[in-house]
Structure 1
Amino acid sequence: MTRETTLSLIRRYYDAFNAADPEGMLACLTEDVEHRVNEGGHRIGKARFREFCAHMGVSYREQLHDLTIFATDDGTRAAAEFVVHGEYLKTDPGLPEARGQTYILPAGGFFEVRGGLISRITTFYNLNDWIRQVSQ
């Protein structure tokens, strides 16, 4: 694995995200992928990630802008920062009521890469900032 290969892999993952293509995202993942969200759950495996994508696709419409990707020289780890431009479509349990509110939220992701695929994704954003934006 090289730095350039990892940068390309992470770019493909986020390109699929922006295209609302969960199968394209899944194609970038190991079978035992570990997915962590700072304000949410911890899931393991492609099946759980697929369920997460299905839920997100119903509740939110998001595009990532200003994407910057970094990778270690050996290509085993990567990070990305971006700005989420989103619309809250369907109320997520425990969160404010959805009324089509829009939001802009800085966020980031950290990755482990194994065998040319993403084996860990950890996503960070400020949930309180998001709640403030959709509650206005």
Structure 2
Amino acid sequence: MSEALLRDYYAAFNRGESAAMLALLTDDVVHEPSQGAVREGKAAFADFLDHMNRCYKEAVIGPVFLTSADGARAAAEFMLEGEYLVTDGDLPAASGQRYRLRVGAFFELREGKIARVSNHYNLADWLAQVGG
């Protein structure tokens, strides 16, 4: 069940379907980004997705999943291919730069939904790829 849930989550991500992603989350989901403040709740996660979809076009490539025996925890490792569309805050100026990053993601799962998402990647590598 947990691997199927994560496959559905990343398939929705790759299709750019935020509503489908949000449907897979608990109402009290916790989002721990690689950089920045922790977000709590589905509304905060929806705001994050809106921001990301405005600034970036990304796709998850070749995810590999690991799950705990009890199904309460899971992890994914994948390559993230993206295009930097619109300048994001004080990050380097966007001009359609393409990038490729290795990402690790960790999840807590509860009652068939995702209760925590923690994403981790190398920001210095991303900055070097986009010219920062």
Gaps (5+ residues) in structure 2?
A: none
- How far off is 1:21 after superposition? 0.5
Query: Would you say how many aligned residue pairs link Structure 1 and Structure 2?
Result: 132
Q: Stretches of 4+ moved more than 3 A in 1?
A: none
Distance in 1, Cα, partners of 2:103 & 2:30: 18
Quote the residue 1:55 is aligned against.
51
Say whether residues 1:125 and 2:121 are aligned partners.
yes
Quote the residue 2:3 is aligned against.
7
Gaps (5+ residues) in structure 1?
A: none
Residues 65-116 of structure 1: CA deviation (Å, up to 9, x unaligned): 0110110111000000000000000000110000000000100100000111
Distance in 2, Cα, partners of 1:12 & 1:66: 14
Identity %: 47
- How far off is 1:39 after superposition? 1.3
Say whether residues 1:19 and 2:22 are aligned partners.
no
Matched AA of 1:125:
Y
Distance in 2, Cα, partners of 1:38 & 1:102: 19
- Normalization by structure 1: what TM-score? 0.95
Quote the residue 1:89 is aligned against.
85
Q: Classify the secondary structure of the residue corresponding to 1:40.
A: coil
Please, which of 97, 103, 113 is the counterpart of residue 101 of structure 1? 97
Distance in 2, Cα, partners of 1:40 & 1:19: 25
- How far off is 1:41 after superposition? 2.1
Distance in 2, Cα, partners of 1:45 & 1:62: 23
Say whether residues 1:38 and 2:46 are aligned partners.
no
- Normalization by structure 2: what TM-score? 0.98
Say whether residues 1:74 and 2:70 are aligned partners.
yes
Q: Classify the secondary structure of the residue corresponding to 1:31.
A: strand
Distance in 2, Cα, partners of 1:19 & 1:41: 26
- How far off is 1:31 after superposition? 0.1
